[in-house]
Structure 1
Amino acid sequence: MKAFEFEPKLFTTLKNYTRENFMTDLMAGIIVGIVALPLAIAFGIASGVTPEKGIITAIVAGFIISFLGGSKVQIGGPTGAFIVIIYGIIQEYGIEGLMVATMMAGIILVLLGIFKLGTIIKFIPYPIIIGFTSGIAVTIFTTQIADIFGLNFNGEKVPGDFIGKWILYFHHFDTVNWWNVVVSVASIFIIAITPKFSKKIPGSLVAIVLVTVAVYLMKMYGGIQCIDTIGDRFSIKAQLPEAAVPSLDWEAIKNLFPVAITIAVLGAIESLLSAAVADGVIGDRHDSNTELIAQGIANFVSPIFGGIPATGAIARTMTNINNGGKSPVAGIVHAVVLLLILLFLMPLAQYIPMACLAGVLVIVSYNMSGWRVFKGLLKNPKSDVTVLLITFFLTVIFDLTVAIEVGLVIACVLFMKRVMETTQISVITDEIDPNKESDLEVHEEHLIVPEGVEVYEINGPYFFGIATKFEEIMARLGDRPKIRIIRMRKVPFIDSTGIHNLTTLCKMSQKENIHIILSGVNDQVHAVLEKSGFYELLGKENICSNINEALEVAAKEVKEL
């Protein structure tokens, strides 16, 4: 097995780095940094933390992911996928609980990378990914309803769950602020039409600049003071916070462990999907294990400086590519640009209307929903549709932790069911056609199965899902032959449950004076059975390489009985 290697792309790309590469990375990094600003603020506020925490995450995590990551062009930072999780953690465990959970998730991600599990993450079923992604999109949209319509809850706390939010919204829909609605609709309209005029300048940035200026003028000269801005709800701090490690206790770690796993799994999926999409565009290949380690370190360090969970952001990554980003240097520049904005321009963020940010997140949720893909998956087999819908509704109605856990369990059960359906057990009591066999020499006459002998053929993996099928078939037959030949030429592997089942069958047969013979066991299964001690119970004389030999042994034993 190849030894573990940690090879950040930055160090390999710098070997042949040129001044021209730096200039293109510099321009791409500046543009991505500007693009990331409104999204970082919006994700921070929507997650239930202050605006600068979103930017700090983009700075700290974005720098580490680019510096240590396994992709040339991946841009890391806060993303919409984490909004629901972060908000729920803060509601239940507070900011310190969020810090602990994020750091734990960072450790899990590092371990996933060290143990080379980056490729395994890619095997999570597609319906699960689409199910919880679409569910997150619906939940993000739901969280923005209050700011879109400017609802006034009269100090009533907004529930954390989906149904509770909508009940509260309907109770207070008579408090709609139509100026907020106008601001939100205008923001959405600007974001939607910007690509028609410019592919490089993001619509979210254009909307925030234009709408913020318009609202500022309306407040200053129009006397309209009813449109809430960031400054009305948050005090903006234009500085990096001091490093602080949260107090850890075993009880908190136990309670937050399932949440940390959710953050780690979601972060791994999103970052590796983003890196894979980027590979397809630039014609490169990322190192998934190195990427996971970088993501883990970023999520461990980010909370120490007040940040929130981070992962690879596909929209910012594509912006980087479209603007000429060639190496991780562009991602580092993006982090530096955000740092400069935080230190020198952050006070200007107080003028951004909350309704405008809500409009930005409505577009984010729409793009994330993938409703066309969701609709297409509904035409797939019922098992896939079941996983898709269950994951979606669990994400929306409960939370992402439950959705991922249940979705994965359902997917595993369905996978086992499919494997069980492909594994067949047949019973032969009369004759075998040699022309249809692959483990014996072809003869002109059919091979006759001696009287008192039954041949059981297993076609497929012999694992815990299929082990009891044997017993069911024998119970259904209800007869007691003198010899049972178990033909295993088409068994690619056997697990501990299969071994236990064979051992039990052998012991029961011995009590009933029924001999067991194995035929055609391949090398891998043979090694597993020998190591388990099964052959000591059965006897090596009853292990045959093919059906010819097994029938000869059976014929001799029948005569002796």
Structure 2
Amino acid sequence: MSIRSYLQPLLPSTQDYRPVARTWRGDLIAGVTVGIVALPLALAFGVSSGAGAESGLITAIVAGIVAAVFGGSNIQVSGPTGAMVVVLGPIVAAHGPGVVAVVSGLAGVVVLLAGVFKIGRVVSYIPWPVIEGFTLGIAVIIFLQQVPSAIGAKAGPSTNAFVSAIQSFSTVSWPSAGWALLTVAVVAAIMLLAPRIHRLVPGSIIAIIVVTVLASLLALPLSRIGRLPSSLPAPHLPSVAWDALPGLAGAIFTVAALAAIESLLSARVGSTLADTGPYEPDRELVGQGLASIASGFFGGMPATGAIARTAVNVRSGGRTRVAAIVHALVLLGIVYLAASIVSLIPLAALSGVLMVTATRMVSVATVRSVVGSTRSDTIVFLITALITVSFDLIIAVGIGIVVAGFFALRALSRSGGVIRETLPGTTRPGDEHIALFRLDGSLFFGAAERMLAAMSGVRDVDVVIIRMSQLQALDATGARVIAELVNALERRGITVLVKGIQPRHLQLVTRVGVIDSLRHQKHLFTDLDAAVEHARDHVRRAAESAGRTAPSAPPAASPE
């Protein structure tokens, strides 16, 4: 395969824009709608991360355009997200806001390389309860992070969102706290009532306008966003001390992992919302990597796909990448035309927007579905959510996958079994000295020892027949246990016959020594009747040599 053919699926194509001739009206309306919805979120996520409102706005514009052009989804809208804010908060607290652009660029390189090496389909291995537990945990953290601004206080020194929220109450100052809480309540009320008027009414932007106007007219004692640039800054290399990079390695890879996982999950969900074609996971990683790199050059934050904005895009009629591009251009226009007005927005208003957004991230019906499914899925869901809130997002996903894997392996091991069967056909004298075992389901490291215990305890038999034709899955441990079982039985003087090794398992059982452990190559069968007749002949000859009464049988086969 040539380099060109390898990279071709990862690059933009004219095919991306073929439907635009018939979808441009819907794309234009959707782009404007999403731009209006994204404005307060971009500002709020920038402030909440510690990087500043300007950083959030730059990310929504720059990353929004780059990801739309280079990403693997036709309808994904990218920018700053709540999950990324959760990760960036401790990084900013430890290293300062100036490091955000560096982390964004280097994390983007990692995500870009992940796409180039085509590992995008890894998201398909993340179980549903892990995804929902992760989402619930993020929603709780986002809500808790807004508590200090919602009460007009400073965040506590702890890096844990819950502890920091509790600590912030010690710095509450009245009556400014009352005005901040009232602002949050008004924003929440408008956002909750707006969809009842029409599902496309941008409740967040209406709420922001209302409380900003009232706060300015009444000169309320509320903290504001403050001065914003009236244009995009020129791209430049982020400055960082080279000796600080080793200390940022963990943060960079954490941000990269989150950016990749969240973007792929968002793209996967987005592909189910409308018939806009499948998403390309590897190209999506390339696009998101380039988006974060570009964002870093302009002083922005790491970007990811945003499922909430993507859903608004689809519901508003967006069907191609043009909608996401228009959304970014709308935000760019706001920067150039309304920066001075945006700077007057109270921080408490942004907290209200994020609190409502956090509550909307959690679907009560989905939580009930997960909790009401199986006990193991409920445990995975709760563990992932608790670790997300208490410790770390990426660790939570990793532990959630491990716990889900444990339950899956346990269920798989229980699906396998060893069943002792009666011999087919009419019972003959001597059949009591033959044991026929059928291996069912999966035989791997989680079930191998149980199978060994079930078969190794066989007594008062001369021949054991092991049927493997019904075995669905076999790994090296399972095959090795079969070989050890055969050796153990043969040492006790019990002849072992193996029947029905499937072609897909033949190479494995040969390599680990199952066939070599048999007393003779003729003890390997493809037909059960032939194996049973051979076993009966062996029992007859064993009885004769032991001086027992030989059972009646057809003429003996030629000796081995």
SS at match of 1:255: helix
Aligned to 1:297: 290
Show the counterpart of 2:498.
518
TM-score (norm 1): 0.85
**Other-structure match for 2:65:** 63
Cα distance in structure 2, aligned partners of 1:364 and 1:472: 55
Deviation at 1:537, TM superposition (A): 4.2
Deviates more, 1:255-264 or 1:159-168: 255-264
Choose the corresponding residue for 2:444, options 441, 463, 472. 463
Relative to structure 1, is the Cα distance of residues 550 and 172 closer, same or farther in structure 2, using a 3 angstrom cutoff? farther
Say which SS state the counterpart of residue 458 (structure 1) adopts. strand
Contact 1:66 1:75 in 2 (8 A): yes
Equivalent residues in 2 for 1:88-487, closer than 5 Å: 88-92=90-94, 94=96, 102=104, 106=108, 109-110=111-112, 113=115, 117-151=119-153, 157-172=156-171, 175=174, 177-219=177-219, 224=220, 226-231=221-226, 236=229, 238-244=231-237, 247=242, 251-252=246-247, 255-256=250-251, 259-260=254-255, 262-264=257-259, 266-278=261-273, 281-282=274-275, 284-428=277-421, 431-432=422-423, 434=424, 445=426, 450-474=431-455, 477=457, 479=459, 481-487=461-467
CA gap 1:251/1:469 in 2 versus in 1, 3 angstroms: farther
Aligned residues: CA RMSD: 3.2
Task: Tell me what 1:11 maps to.
Answer: 14
- Compared CA separation, residues 36 and 286, structure 1 to 2 (3 A): same
Quick check: 408-417 or 251-260, which moved more?
Answer: 251-260
- Percentage of pairs with the same residue: 30
CA 33–174 in structure 1, closer or farther in 2 if over 3 Å, else same: closer
Pairwise CA distance, 1:120: 4.8
Tell me which amino acid in the other structure corresponds to 1:180: A
> What secondary structure does 2:438 align onto?
strand
Q: Summarize deviations over 1:124-178 as a string: whole Å, max 9, x none.
A: 222211112111111111111111111257xxx5311134224313444565611
Amino acid at match of 1:57: T
Tell me how far apart the structure 2 counterparts of residues 106 and 498 of structure 1 sit (CA, whole Å).
42
Q: Give the SS at the match of 1:489.
A: coil
Q: Name the residue aligned to 1:504.
A: 484
Q: Secondary structure at the match of 1:230?
A: coil
Q: How many residues align?
A: 534
> Cα–Cα, structure 1 residues 484 and 141, in superposed 2: closer, same or farther, change >3 Å?
same
Structure 1 position 123, deviation (Å): 4.3
Do the aligned residues in 2 keep the contact of 1:108 with 1:264 (CA within 8 Å)? no
Q: CA, structure 1 residues 376+24, in 2 after alignment: closer, same or farther (shift >3 Å)?
A: closer
* 2:507 corresponds to 1:527: yes
Could you tell which deviates more after superposition, 365-374 or 189-198?
Answer: 189-198
TM-score of the two chains, using structure 2 as the length reference: 0.85
1:420-458 alpha-carbon deviations (Å, 9 max, x no partner): 121111234xx23x4xxxxxxxx5x35888444322221
1:490 aligns to 2:489 (yes or no):
no
Matched residue SS, 1:518 = strand
Distance 1:449 1:492 in 2: 32
Picking from 508, 513, 522, the partner of 1:541 is: 522
Contact 2:152 2:173 in 1 (8 A): no
Give distance in 1, aligned partners of 2:283 and 2:125. Answer: 18
Per the alignment, residue 437 of structure 1 pairs with: none
Give the SS at the match of 1:426: strand
Alpha-carbon distance change, 44 to 427 in structure 1, aligned in 2, over 3 angstroms: same
Q: Equivalents in 2 of 1:560, 1:248: separation in Å?
A: 81
What runs of 5+ residues in structure 2 fail to find an aligned partner? 543-560
- Structure 1 SS opposite 2:435: strand
> Per-residue displacement from partner, 1:359-390 (whole Å, max 9, x unpaired)?
10011001012233213432222111111111
Q: Which has the larger radius of gyration?
A: 2
